[in-house]
Structure 1
Amino acid sequence: MTRLYEGGAVVAEGFGAHEISDQLAEHPKAVLWLDLFDPEESDLRSVAAEFNLHPLAVEDAVHDHQRPKLDRYPGHLFMNVYSVHVQTEGDVPVLHKGEISAFITERALITVRKSEVDLTRLIRRWDADAALSATGGVGFLVYGLLDVVVDGQFAAARELDVAMDKTEDTILEEGGAPRSVRMYGFALRKTIAALRRPVAPMADLIADVMRADTRLVDENLEPYYRDVDDHARRATETIDSARERINGLLEADLNEQSNALNDVTRKLAAWAAIIAVPTALTGYFGQNVPYWGYEKFWGFLLSTGLIVFSASGLYLYLKRRGWL
């Protein structure tokens, strides 16, 4: 996918990579966006030659699971970020991550998607603020990319926080939460930890982009970048708060289970003491009195059936209470 911005408008789009040189020559004040989906290193050679991209940056762009970062190379920058969204419905929350690498040159933003990422929101963001491209150059394109990525990360953090609200009351029920709710809580904690890894470095990354030596952010774009930076910090704070909150909820649930277990143990000990006294007395005095059906075969069957019935009934009761 390609787009060429000049004077606050899209002057060309959808042209092939082999036409990039001609388009840039025809529009000397334009800036280019080129998007590549999961290319091989060989696929990037022509682009690397066109924009003089560093081999190490090209290598990072084709290998997955790079950390969020901004690297400086002669003539260009290399950035790696993650677009994320979460699904909190179902048995466990699911985090979806899309890795995006970007080469930032004087006249081009080249994005490399390593997995399926919806570009609709990114294009919509650029179209909404297209006037900034007239003065912002490539910095305008980088702003749009960072804004969409950070907004998605903040939305994911809030989604997990809302999911925690839905389970909090159940987790704090008397006697401890049901196992399914408790397992959902553990899954929430795992998802929050996974989300923090791509989100936490974003504030420092944006600060690096805004440094004067990158020459990307002019006075017109600076307020917009500060807004993105604010959202990135709020996303990290929301995640950290959610992590502390879920840890506290799970610890409270553990304490509630411990209290419930103490109550059960105390009741069992009390009943055992009540039963033990008459058992000890009758055993001491040898009070083995004849029972109904004593010394008869049907009496033996009756007593055996009574033992099996009472033991089975007690087992089912304890099983239903979750003690077995």
Structure 2
Amino acid sequence: MTTRQWRDGQAVASDFPLSEVSERLEEDGSLIWVDLCDPGRAHLAELAGELGLDSHAVEDAVTAYERPKATRHARHTFLTVYATRLDPGDPTPGRRESRLVTSRISAFVLPRGIITVRSDDTFDMAPVLERWNEDPELLRLGVGALVHGLLDTVVDGHFEAIQRLDDAIEGLEDLLFDDRGPSHEVQVRTYRLRKELVELRRVVLPMREVVNAVLRHRSELEGRHTELDGSYDDLYDHVLRASEWTESLRDMITTVFETNLSLQDARLNTVMKKLTGWAAIIAVPTAVTGWFGQNVPYPGFGKGSGVLMSAGVILGIGVVLYIVFKRKSWI
């Protein structure tokens, strides 16, 4: 649990107990932040009873698989958003598991404070706190500044994940048109990227509704500060860009998948033409000698060693052809 209090934009207290939250919220010019990481139901029940938090919102804060949303209740607004992070690298060849890590953050937005609830510590709140502290004048504008700082950090994380997926798709395109590139690796990476984009899309697209709801409810939570309007408009623009970028990447990876199938068909046709050509060349002497029944003495003719020699020639040529075809991925 982390607690912090600002007054007139300046930090005045930290790490105070939950029992003091309601009293500090009543102080003029006070701004409160309470962060609970993987809280027990007892902590949430204590806080809900002290601050009058809606029971449905408290239940949503601890329930798994809640979608991103913003809901207005009698005394507060409840938010659920997901921070994202894409693990770097791919140390395991052929890895199909998604590298996208999502962290749920729920927030109870009060007129003079914000309470964040995280399911685990995969999302670090330090950058959010740093963003809040770097501009004391912004904190004078009230809880809207805290909400904006939190959402802006989350959206920046979305952009970082999207950018890395974009770079991964570009690398996949280079591998796709490499005739000597491993086709299986292209298929595995395409599958993994599609899976990661689907997961990312689930948390990025609903952010438009979340930011819209926050914009509508701002005037209900606080005196409307027009100084924050530009910041929220910029935040909404970033959310739209992230959504559009995610959709465009989804189309790109679908195109890569379809192009890979087309290239596989084209390569298969080329192989078939080569094999058919060689089969036609070999068929001519085979047909002539077979039709006329030509049979001439060969080394070992009429001897037992000749059988072994001919069997060895057949086996050796067969092994050589198998190795050549395997290296060319024809079989």
Asked if these proteins are the same fold (TM beyond 0.5), I'd say yes
Match of 1:208 in 2: 213
**1:41 CA drift (Å):** 2.2
Deviates further, 72-81 or 279-288: 279-288
Query: Which of 273, 278, 283 is the aligned partner of 1:271?
Result: 278
**Cα distance in structure 2, aligned partners of 1:177 and 1:171:** 9
* Aligned match of 2:37: 37
- TM-score normalised by structure 1 residue count: 0.94
2:243 pairs with one of 232, 236, 246: 236
1:5 positional shift: 1.6
C-alpha displacement of 1:181 = 3.2
Q: How far 1:300 moved relative to its partner?
A: 0.9
Query: 1:165 corresponds to which residue?
Result: 170
Aligned partner of 1:198 in structure 2 is 203
- State the Cα distance separating 1:177 from its structure 2 match: 5.1
CA displacement, residues 242-292 of structure 1 (integer Å, 9 cap, x when unaligned)? 111121122222211211110110111111112112212222222233322
**2:315 corresponds to 1:314:** no
- Amino acid aligned to 1:254: L
1:312 to partner: Cα distance: 0.9
- Partners of 1:68 and 1:214 lie apart in 2 by 21
Aligned residue in 2 for 1:8: 9
Question: Partner residue of 1:65?
Answer: 65
User: What is the CA-CA distance between 1:88 and the residue it aligns to?
Assistant: 4.2
Secondary structure at the aligned position of 2:295 is classed as coil
- SS of 1:85 mapped into structure 2: strand
Give unpaired runs (5+ residues) of structure 2. Answer: none
Residue 58 (structure 1) shift: 0.7
Structure 1 unaligned residues grouped into runs of 5+: none
The reply on whether 1:285 has 2:286 as its aligned counterpart is no
Q: CA deviation at 1:148?
A: 0.5
Aligned counterpart, 1:24: 25
Q: Deviations over 1:38-84 (max 9, x none)?
A: 11222211100111111111111111221000112111111100011
Correspondence 1:44-63 to 2 at 5 A: 44-63=44-63
| Secondary structure at the counterpart of residue 211 of structure 1 | helix
Distance 2:156 2:89 in 1: 21
Q: Is the 8 A contact 1:87 1:94 kept in 2?
A: yes
2:259 matched to which residue of 1?
Answer: 252
Q: Which residue of 2 aligns with 1:147?
A: 152
Q: Find the aligned partners of 1:222 and 1:192 in 2 and give their Cα distance.
A: 31
Code of the residue aligned with 1:15 in structure 2: it is F
- SS of equivalent residue, structure 1 residue 167: helix
How many residues end up aligned between the 2 structures? 322
Give SS of 1:284's match: helix
Report deviation, 1:19: 2.2
Deviant stretches of 4+, over 3 Å: 174-178, 212-217
Encode CA deviations 1:190-244: one digit per residue, 9 max, x unaligned: 1111111101111121011101554455311111111111111111111111111
**Aligned equivalents of 1:106 and 1:318: distance in 2?**
72
Q: Equivalent residue for 2:119?
A: 114
State whether residues 176 and 257 of structure 1, in contact with CA within 8 Å, keep that contact through their aligned partners in structure 2. Answer: no
Q: Find the aligned partners of 1:225 and 1:38 in 2 and give their Cα distance.
A: 29
Counterpart amino acid of residue 275 in structure 2: L
SS at match of 1:220: helix
Q: Which amino acid aligns with 1:275?
A: I
Contact 1:199 1:235 in 2 (8 A): yes
Q: Does residue 189 of the first structure (1) align with residue 197 of the second (2)?
A: no
The answer to whether residue 92 in structure 2 is matched with residue 98 in structure 1 is no
Looking at structure 1, the residues matched to 128 and 43 of structure 2 have their Cα atoms a distance apart, in angstroms, of 24
SS at match of 1:12: strand
Query: SS where residue 322 of structure 2 aligns?
Result: helix
CA RMSD of aligned residues (A): 1.7
**Paired residue for 1:227, among 221, 234, 245?**
234
The aligned amino acid for 2:50 is: E
Identity of aligned residues (%): 40
Secondary structure (helix, strand or coil) at the match of 1:289 reads coil
Q: State which drifts further: 171-180 or 299-308.
A: 171-180
TM (normalized to structure 2)?
Answer: 0.92
Q: Give the Cα separation in 2 of the matches to 1:112 and 1:24.
A: 18
CA distance in 1: counterparts of 2:50 and 2:42, whole angstroms: 14
Deviation per residue, 1:101-157 (Å, 9 max, x gap) = 1111122211000121111110111012221121x2111111111111111111111
